[in-house]
Amino acid sequence: PCALALLGLLMWNDWAGRRLIQARDLLDADALRRFNTGGGESPLAALTREVCGAAVAGVVEAVFFVLMFGVAVAYLVALHDFVRATPLAMPLGVDVALAAAAAVPLALVDDFGSLAAAGAAALVALACSLAAIALYGVMRRERLGWAQSGTFDWTKPDSVADVGAAVGVMAFCFGVAPVALHLEASMAAPERFAVAQRVALFTAFAAYVIVGAGVARLYDGPAPDDSVPGNVLDALPNGFTPTLVRLAMAAACVASIPIGLVGCGEILEARIPRCRRLVVRSLVAVAAALVAYAMPAFALVVGLVGAVAVCTLSFALPPLVHLLLARRNSLPIAEDVVLLVAGVLLVIITTTLTA
């Protein structure tokens, strides 16, 4: 069930990202010129302004800011979880402060496209870490045997509240729609965005399913009380290589924090033009570190941000924007109506369950 839900959210995200691009292409010449010129808004808010007006655009910009800020906070909290089991363990306030400071120089770029190199390095670190986790799982199984305890089923949530949290987390992980316009604009060949988005999403889906099922199989059992830990890194032994794995995951977090800092920084800098980029993004980093210190629960942060911000911008906004433009251009709207209703219901249900 979880794998099917994950696939459904993936396909919905793919549709939503493409729908925003299609909506942008339905703008008339004057509106498109205003959209391309921009007024310091995110592309998503600029599109919403042309379709729904300034008030709704302001709400969208605020929700997008919450999403980007939540990204920075989530990676800071995750970094603490990775580092705390290593010899470099520090108190929560210290490690998140150092990570935020380390991320600021990486965040002094013009747009998301400039973060490609840091993102690639993070993916390499993540791939190496997952390979090491799998290797230790196999070695552990060879020592203990391959029988499973049967106490853990990664495909079935434990409660209704867990369903809401799971949807929020999955929406967060696949939340490409809110940044679709950013990503397309940063590409050397924007016309290939739709294909690139679909390939990336399905690659991520395959990785999530294979890794999720594989890790569950390797770390579940054979004793009845030998279940999969919430953080699989907790199942790794102590030693040099496991420490490197944890530190590699922490480094991947540091390389990912700038995504949130850049997104928030662009919004604030447009409204405080006299304030230097370094100052604005440093202040965002400080604020994110303070929130991470106050709320050090990774699943809660990701679930709330996913349920409130990502679901709103990914599943409710794209069909609304396209629906209004389709009506102006006398195009069919049935698909948008159905998915708008579904998106609004998803936002309400997941937010209620997660909160």
Q: What is the pLDDT of residue 18?
A: 94
pLDDT at 229: 59
The C-alpha atoms of residue 351 and residue 355 are separated, in whole angstroms, by 6
> Among 188, 139, 143, 194, which residue's Cα sits nearest to residue 19?
194
**Following CA atoms 229, 233, 235, 237 in sequence, which dihedral angle do they give, to the nearest 10 degrees?**
-170
Question: What's the pLDDT at 47?
Answer: 93
Q: Contacts from 228-231 at CB under 8 Å and sequence distance 24+?
A: 228/152, 228/154, 230/299, 231/81
Residues of the chain whose pLDDT is less than 50? none
Confirm if 270 and 75 have CB atoms less than 8 A apart. no
User: Cα 301 to the chain's mean position, in Å?
Assistant: 11
Contact in structure between 148 and 222 (CB atoms under 8 Å):
yes
Here the tokens at position 345 are 């219901």
pLDDT for residue 226: 60
pLDDT of residue 81: 86
Residue 230 is predicted with a pLDDT of 61
Strand, helix or coil at 47?
A: helix
What is d(CA 100, CA 206) in angstroms, rounded to the nearest whole number? 31
Place of tokens 């793919």: 14
Q: What is the DSSP letter of 237?
A: P
